[in-house]
Amino acid sequence: MSDFVSTYEEVTRVRVEDPGRFARLAASRRRRTVADTVSDAGGTMMIIAADHPARGALGAGSRPGAMASRTEMLDRMREALAVPGVDGVLGTADVLEDLLVMGALEDKIVFASMNRGGLQGGSWEIEDRFTAYDARAIKEAGFDGGKMLTRVDLDDDRTSTTLEASAQAVTCLARQELIAMVEPFMSSRPGGPGTPVVNDLSPEAVIRSIHIAQGLGATSAYTWLKLPAVAEMARVMDATTLPTVILGGDPVGKDPQAVRASWQEALARPNVRGLVVGRTLLYPHHDDVTAAVSTAVEMIRG
């Protein structure tokens, strides 16, 4: 009899009556390696991200509460993961365990989100505490690596705490032979204290963030970068030899065709090895998840 469930009521029942099932399913899950996946997929991989809600970021495009419904988000995640050519997922424990018990993680690459403590809008947002997975938990779950958001605000003393924590996470993941996916930004609060954090997406700022990020930790052997697609990607990607995936970002105010064009330009670089996209594909402007994900898969495979 399968340990998988098919309804969200059953997911809750497992959490009440048999919480050890999550660990058992993680241990028996069908897996594939990142190296084999990238090789089989022609050099790139397609990852669906769903770790935004844990940082209090529930908006997608023009919908401020798009991700407020967990069951709707899971429906969209399961639909996206079922599209042929989708290789894996990035998420926090709550999301990954729901998908795991519903059988959606079989034969998928899984990246675990690690620092979700920099809550969107918080006065301490830059001090992005590691409040989710750690390296040991990722290894025990049989996942492939951990992702960390690492924003650098030169006017905020708390940046040094985030950098130190990210460096420790890179080292701990490497000791477990797990990928450390570092997502760096040069950030600031242009409106002053208490105003939103804004990421600088100029080529110069992204290049600077790359050099800071790739120097974190006792080794870079297992470090990958997660970067935005910006102008002058040839010059930007010349700043590193590390494998890199391109993030999707929040689609608010963006032309879908322009977004896809920026992804294609980035994917043309030899050290770019795929896309990690969440809200842009899960909540597309036309609300057809399968079509949006299929278009992205076709683009990177082409």
Q: What's the pLDDT at 257? A: 80
Give the number of residues written for the chain: 302
Q: What's the pLDDT at 256? A: 76
Q: What's the pLDDT at 252? A: 57
Tokens matching residue 198: 């804004």
Predicted TM-score of the model (pTM): 0.95
Contact 170, 181 (CB under 8 A): no
User: Which DSSP string corresponds to the chain?
Assistant: -----SSHHHHHHHHHH-TTHHHHHHHH-----HHHHHHHTTT-EEEEEE-SGGGT---BTTBTTTT--HHHHHHHHHHHHTSTT--EEEE-HHHHHHHHHTTTTTT-EEEEE----S-TT-TTTTS----S--HHHHHHHT--EEEEEEEE-TT-TTHHHHHHHHHHHHHHHHHTT-EEEEEEEEEE-TT-TTSPPEE--SHHHHHHHHHHHHT-SS--TTEEEEE---S-HHHHHTT--S-EEEE----TT--HHHHHHHHHHHHTSTTEEEEEE-HHHHS-TT--HHHHHHHHHHHHH-
Question: What CATH number does the domain located at 8-149+223-301 have?
Answer: 3.20.20.70
Other CB atoms within 10 A of residue 223 CB:
22
Other CB atoms within 10 A of residue 9 CB:
8
Q: What's the pLDDT at 77? A: 98
- Domain segments of the chain as ranges: 8-149+223-301
Question: pLDDT averaged over consecutive 10-residue blocks of the chain (302 residues)?
Answer: 90 98 97 85 89 95 91 98 97 98 97 97 95 98 98 97 98 98 97 92 98 98 97 96 89 72 89 94 94 92 70
Q: What's the pLDDT at 302? A: 64
